[in-house]
Structure formats: C-alpha cells, structure tokens
Structure 1
Amino acid sequence: MYFCDMKVLYILFGTLSLALGIIGIFLPLLPTTPFLLLTAALYVRSSPRLYNRLLHHKYLGSYIRNFRENKAIPLRAKIISVSLIWITILNCIFFIVPYWWLKAVLLLIAAGTSYHILSFKTLK
C-alpha cells in the first residue's frame, strides 16, 4: 500500500514540476532545466512510461538528454539564469528586505547558486 502511495505522489509532484518547467520556457524568471530534471527523477521512480515519454518528447527531451549526457548547460541559459538571479536578489536586497542579516543570506544564496550554475561545462 505504501509503495503505491509513493508512486502516486512521485507522479503528482513530477507533473507539477513538469508544468513549472514548461512555464519556465516562457517566463525567464523560472528555470526550465532544473524542473525538467526533477520531473525525470520523479518519473523514473514512479512510471517508466511517463519517463520514456518525457525523454523522447520532441522539445523537452533535449533539455534532459543534453544535461544527462554532457553535464553541460548552454551559454544562453547560463547568462539568463545568473542574470535573473542577481537582478531578483539585488531588487529584494535594496527594495524589499529590511534586515541586514537577511540581505546577507540572500547574497550568499545568489553567490552559491551562481557558482553552482557556472561550475557546469558550457554546452556548445
């Protein structure tokens, strides 16, 4: 019984992650690839059929295959991701967050996330 419940949760969260990834294609604030990678991880644990459909999808499959095979991120995606992270974080620091310690935490998050994104090879 527990195993079936987990499969349903994985499918549910995988589908939610897929929706966010698709929205991320059109909204530059949401990253596409991490959501699609999360979807693939959740689907592989719950439904081989959904996982295969995702990997062989005409448009979305390439995001996952490129990352899985090359461990690389396209230069355009790196530039957009890091730029949006810093624009968003700096906006919060200067205009929204009143506490200095929270501003410091946001700076650390931005730096760590940027480092993580830039640590991957660039897909050419």
Structure 2
Amino acid sequence: MKILLIALGALSFAIGTIAIWIPGLPTTGFYVLTTILWSKSSKRLDNWLHQNKYYQRYVTEAVFDRKLSLKGRVLIYLVTASMMAIPFFKTDMLWLKYVLPLTSLTQIISMECYYRGYLWRNGIPFTNVRDK
C-alpha cells in the first residue's frame, strides 16, 4: 500500500507540474492530492513535508497562521485577475463576461474575509490546526 501511495503521489505531482503549462488544467488540485498521498504513505515523508521550507512559508505561515501580507495578497489578486482577463477579452459569450469578474471578486472577498478573521476564527475546518 505504501508503494502504491508513493507512486500515485508521484503521478499526481507529474500531472500537476505539466498542468502549469496547460491552460484550464488545475495545478493546485494535483499538488494537494500529492501532499495527501505522500503524507499518508509514510511518517518520514509526512515529516519531511511539514519541515520543508516551502511548506512552512506558503502553507503554514500563509494559510494556517494567516501571515500572508497585504502586498502578497494583492499580487495574487492581480495575477488571477489578469489570467481571467484573457478569456474575458477573447470571448463573445455574454454569460462568461459576467461570470469571470464575479469569480475574481468572490476570490478577493473570501480571501480578505479569511485573512481579516471574519471566517474560521478557530482554525480551518476539517484540520487539526488551530489559531495560536
């Protein structure tokens, strides 16, 4: 079972990495799946993941400790809005011209509510991590 979980994790990591260059294929979902599979495969991989400097910086500090700066959040908003602007200006579908800005606005509102403490004051649901 351990080898199967590691192999499936490697496969999802490879797909997630390839997805960086393929528009429309989600990268994050495959990386989250990789994390889950590798963490479940062995305690050693789980410990390595949690001690990894990138996990510490981008997951523990940014998500669990809510220490992502306003500058960092604005950068995320600008990058995602610019990516959504490409299909917005390329399409003739009216419904998509309404959905894309609403999606971007929803992202901004939800992230700001989370970082300002309006959502999940006692940690993130379904995790064992709690605010300090």
TM-score bracket for the superposition, by shorter chain length:
0.5 to 0.7
Gaps of 5+ in 2: 21-27, 117-132
Q: In the aligned structure 1, how far is the partner of 2:93 from the partner of 2:76?
A: 26
Higher helix share: 1
Distance 1:81 1:42, change over 3 A: farther
SS across alignment from 1:102: helix
Aligned alpha-carbon RMSD (Å): 3.5
CA contact (8 A) 2:49 2:55 kept: yes
- Name the residue aligned to 2:61: 66
Choose the corresponding residue for 1:87, options 82, 98, 116.
82
User: Is the 2:84–2:100 Cα contact (8 Å) retained in structure 1?
Assistant: yes
Name the % identity.
22
TM-score by length of 2: 0.57
Which residue, out of 29, 39, 44, partners 2:39? 44
Once the 2 structures are TM-superposed, how far is the Cα of residue 72 of structure 1 from its aligned partner? 4.2
Q: How many residues align?
A: 108
Contact 1:71 1:121 in 2 (8 A): yes
1:105 aligns with 2:99: yes
Q: Match for 2:53: what amino acid?
A: K
Aligned to 1:12: 11
Q: Which has the higher contact order (CA 8 A, sep 6+)?
A: 1
Return the letter of the residue paired with 2:112.
L
Between the aligned partners of 2:67 and 2:95, the Cα distance in structure 1 is 34
Deviation at 1:15? 6.1
Q: Give the structure with the larger strand fraction.
A: 1
Moved over 4 A (4+): 3-7, 14-17
1:89 and 1:106 in contact (8 A); partners too: yes
Q: TM-score, normalised by structure 1?
A: 0.60
Report the more deviating stretch, 65-74 or 80-89: 65-74
